[in-house]
Structure formats: C-alpha cells, structure tokens
Structure 1
Amino acid sequence: MSEHYPPEPEPRSKKRLTSFSRFFQRRAEPTDREDIKVILETALERNVIDHEAYTMIVGALDVASKTVSDIMVPRSKIDLLDISKPIAELLPLIVETGRSRFPVYKDDRDNIVGILLAKDLLLSIANPNIDLLPLVRPAVFIPETKKLNVLLREFRSSRNHIAIVIDEHGGTAGLITMEDVLEQIVGDIEDEYDEEDAQTIFQAGNNSWRVMALTEISDFNEAFGTHLSNDDYDTIGGWLAAEMGTIPKRGDSHTIQGINITVVRADAKRALWLHVQREAPAGSPADSNLG
C-alpha cells in the first residue's frame, strides 16, 4: 500500500515572488482624463458599456475641461429684442424664432438690460400697450473663461437657464444656455424650432469670416469662390480633417486656393468653428455673397 504525504509548504521566497508578480500585473490606476478615456474605450470594445453610455461619460469628462467660449452662441447669432420698440413690432420675431427667453437691450446691442420670457408676453394679449420694462428679468453675465462644469453647477443652484457672455473689454461676446452645456454631455437636443438651413458663415471684418465647421462644402465654395471637392465629404469640417489627416484641434491652420482656414474651436471629435481669411479685392464673390 502506497503512503500519501501532505504537500510540502511553499517556500516563503516563492510566495513573496508570486505576490510581487500579481502586484505588477495589476492595471495601473488612471492618473488623468486621457487614462480614463482609454479604459472607457476598452469597455466599449468589450461591450461592457454601449456607445451611448460611452459618449455621455466622455462628454461629462470633457465638460470639466471646456470653457464657455468653446460652445457659446456668438454675438452675431443672438436674437435680441429692442426694449424701445412696441410689442406689435417684437411679436413677429418672437413667434418666428420660437424661443422661450430673449435678451433685451436698450439703445445699443451691447447694453443688455435683462431677459424677457416669452410666457410673460401673454399679458400683452389683454393689453397690447403694456410696458415691457417691468416684465424684464435680471440678466446673468459671465466671462468667456468660465468652466462649463462650474457654469452647470451655477445654473442648477440658481435655477437660471441662460447667461450673457462678456468679453475682456466688457462687450457682449455671446450667449449660453443650460441646454448648450447639457448637449456637450448627451448630444444635440433638437426641438421643433431647430432650423436645418440656418446661416453658418458670418462676416467678421474685411476679408475675414467666422465659419461653422458643419457648413456644406457647396455653400463654402459659393461664398468664397473656391472649388473644393465634395465627392467624399459634405462639410468643410470633414474636408479639413481629411486634408490634415487628423482630427483638427484649436490653432490648426491650413491654406488652400489663397484662403487660410484656422480652427478656433474644436472638441475631441471634430472642428466646430473656423476662421477664414484671405487677401481679396473689394467686390470679390465672397464680399458680394456675404455682405
């Protein structure tokens, strides 16, 4: 009959080696947002989370690193109401835009005196001659450099949904809403008043324009007299990414057909706003098309 003996105890040195091996085989802890994104990408690839969850988490991380200037509605696109005009003249703009809140100015567009809620205008139905000034609510003014996560926290605590963005000289730089911030996390929030054919090219100075990266290439060609191909891409932002061979980031510049295109705003996925400039004589196609 064979005899069975218990296994000999594992030497301490071997146990210690195994312990060290397991320690060094452990995944390193993330040290910054980029490390977290790498972990999220791995989770997405392994179907631990779906694409929608991945996008929302990454969006939440990006909000902490972006400022108001990155996503605000520029001054040229703000729908402002002149407090000196009678309600009869203002109603067509209010109905056409379908917005619920309007910045109100007096004398000068930089002199914003407050915010008017469209629902408060219901009072004008009974009294068309009503004075709008008492209906105007105080406006919140913030700098371009405010972080989006800080602004979102302030929006939630104050129950305010809109803020006027001021530049370093005290002038109106733009406007931002709670919806704008939330869209950075959950994606575009479209409603029945969102316009598909909204203006995307804005004159900024002599031979200088601000252009949304989602501008159709055909519209860009028509405005600037260029001949960029739209066989493979629909938007100027998509075309620019292909030309550069990478996702454009803020400060990137590209020159073609005598036109310099500089990225002034971008996120981790795409360019958002471009600055377009060229030397062109007065009366050029771009000048005539863009006024």
Structure 2
Amino acid sequence: MAAQSAPTDPENPVSTTESNSNQSRTSSTGWFDRIKAAFSSKPVKSPTIADTPAPAAQMPPAQRPGMVNLRRMRVDDVAIPKVEIVAVPTDIKKDDLVQVFRESGMTRLPVYKGTLDTPVGLVHLKDFALGHGFNGKGGERFNLKKMLRPLLYAPPSMPIGVLLQKMQSDRMHMALVIDEYGGVDGLVTLEDLVEQVIGEIEDEHDIDEDVFWTQSAPGVYIAQAKAPLDEFEAAIGMRLTDEEDEEEIDTLGGLVFLLSGRVPARGEVIEHPSGAAFEITDADPRRIKRIRVRLPSAVPAKTEA
C-alpha cells in the first residue's frame, strides 16, 4: 500500500486514476457509472481472470479486488490507524514543515490544533512550493493558515463506495475517519479505496515486487509478508522458528500469523519470543501485506514502573 497521498493532477483529482482505469477495461462503461451500478439492484459480476491481473485472479474469491467491495467493505477496513498518520500542528515552523514533507514523502498533510483530535485542514505541498519553494527559502512570509485546505470526514462504518463517490464530487484525495466521540480514528486516501476495486497500486513508496525487504535502520527492516522466511533469517543472522514449525511456515507473514493466531490489524505489534517485534504496517481484514521488523537490538528496553 502506498503513502498517504501520491502526486496527482490538482485540478482534476480523479483524472489520473480514471485514465488508467479506462486503458485497462474493455467496455465503454464509465468509471463512476460502474460504481453506481455496484449500488443498483442488479447482481454484481464477480471478477474473472480476464478482468483482473494474474496475481489477483489466483487469490481466493473473498480476497479478490472488485466492484463488490464497494458495498461489502467499510472505511475502517482500509484506513490506516491513527498512530501511523503523519500530521503537523498549526504552529509548525517553515523549516520543520519542509523537513516533514521531505522525510515522509507525502504531498498532503493533515493540520491540527493542539492534538490530532482537533484537525483544522490539510496543507498541500504544491501550495507551499508555489509560495516558498520546495526548500522553503524565499517567497512570501510563511503563514500556514493561508495555505489550509478543507478536510473530508467519514465515519468508520461508511461503505467505501459511498466515500469514493464523495471524494469524487468534492474533488478530494484524503479523508479523516472520525469515531463516535468526534476523535480521529484513522486516515484513508483515494488510492486506498481504488485499490480495493482494481488491486494494488504500486508507487515510489512501496517496496519493489522483486525486493522482499529493505533495511531502514540498524536492526530495523521493512518487509513484505510474502518474504521467504528462510532467506530473511539468513539475512538477519538469527532463527525465528524452531524445528517443529519451520516445515509448516514458508513466509514471514505466516510466522506472524502463527504467533498471533489470527490476521493482526494494521498498526498492531506482535512480539516474538526472541525479543524481536513485528509491527503490521499494511494489512486488510483478510491478509497481512507489509511488516516492520525490529530485531532485539533495535527494540527499546521496557522500564518497570
């Protein structure tokens, strides 16, 4: 899955996605006509091998992307958890904002007053760059409030098809998920929703398909759940399975599933008996997609009260 928001045409937020979809379909039916059809009383056609990429066609039916997900899945099924949201306060300095844009790779950042539970809007990299340059030097006097754009809000129980239509009509790419008490519960992007229909959209923030893991810091790895476990163990120089389990587990995701006994949620941390920690950075209700692995040397020591 991608970062919060990838660069797109700011004048037409859905043009890039819509163009790609038009190139891949064989019928003349419009993209949003197909979305409307998903909510009609007519039965929804299940994806077929001809309709989906080869990897998706090989998935069990319950895991395949498709139009039926627009009604079946809810916003909280695809939103990233609150702890993973990259946001900035209203009183952030210009140089600090440049640093957040640079380190996160995001083009849109939620802005809050005091805490994230009090969002006031979002800041777009394009608006900042036009006034101050990409490096934050030169241009007019820095005033974050003048650059704020409105945010879209959605309840966690909203069907993703409804939110997708709302994003299209309001020309927005990002929405904050608000719980019953008015607090922020997560964040969802246009890309997150579209991926549930057409499959995974890889961008520059995703690990290459042929690269199963990358080292982001000493003792810290970002890995795909399908990474071969024996190869990963060889790379980190430690065993993560015993002799009884090694014949049953082939992938890193399989190991995490065995440890938790279920499909863990995004943002959840699963501890390994060795002291290593597996943080789920990308997952849906059916499968684990990406994991941040912290080896024992990189896991902060717990302090007793």
Partner of 1:112: 119
Partner of 1:63: 70
Render the CA deviation track for 1:21-52: whole Å, top value 9, x for unaligned.
Answer: xxxxxxxxxx976xx54xx56xx4xxxx2652
Render the CA deviation track for 1:122-168: whole Å, top value 9, x for unaligned.
Answer: 20233364111111111111111111011111111111111111122
C-alpha separation in 2, matches of 1:111 and 1:58: 34
Partner of 1:7: none
Larger Rg: 1
Partner of 2:132: 124
Of residues 68, 81, 85, the one that matches 2:88 is: 81
Of residues 241, 251, 266, the one that matches 1:234 is: 251
Larger RCO, structure (CA 8 Å, separation 6 or more)? 2
Give the letter for the 2:188 counterpart.
I
Contact 2:164 2:193 (C-alpha < 8 Å) held by counterparts:
yes
Give the letter for the 2:164 counterpart.
L
Partner of 2:157: 145
Render the CA deviation track for 1:171-195: whole Å, top value 9, x for unaligned.
Answer: 1111111011111122222222336
Render the CA deviation track for 1:190-225: whole Å, top value 9, x for unaligned.
Answer: 2223366599xxxxxxxxxxxx99397669xx9xx9
Give the letter for the 2:106 counterpart.
R
C-alpha separation in 1, matches of 2:189 and 2:68: 19
Which segments of 5 or more consecutive residues in structure 1 lack a partner in the other structure? 1-30, 200-211, 251-255, 258-262, 275-283
Partner of 1:28: none
Contact 1:105 1:111 (C-alpha < 8 Å) held by counterparts:
yes
Render the CA deviation track for 1:257-291: whole Å, top value 9, x for unaligned.
Answer: 7xxxxx9x7445x35699xxxxxxxxx99973689
Contact 1:81 1:102 (C-alpha < 8 Å) held by counterparts:
yes
Q: Does 1:161 align with 2:173?
A: yes
Give the letter for the 1:171 counterpart.
G
Q: Does 1:191 align with 2:237?
A: no
Contact 1:88 1:128 (C-alpha < 8 Å) held by counterparts:
no
Equivalent pairs counted in the alignment come to: 219
Partner of 1:214: 225
C-alpha separation in 2, matches of 1:144 and 1:96: 29
Over the aligned positions, Cα root-mean-square deviation in angstroms equals: 4.6
Relative distance call for 1:243 and 1:119 in structure 2 (3 A) is closer
Indicate the percent of aligned positions where both proteins have the same amino acid: 25
Relative distance call for 1:88 and 1:271 in structure 2 (3 A) is closer
Between Structure 1 and Structure 2, which shows a larger proportion of helix residues?
1
Partner of 2:146: 134
Partner of 1:72: 79
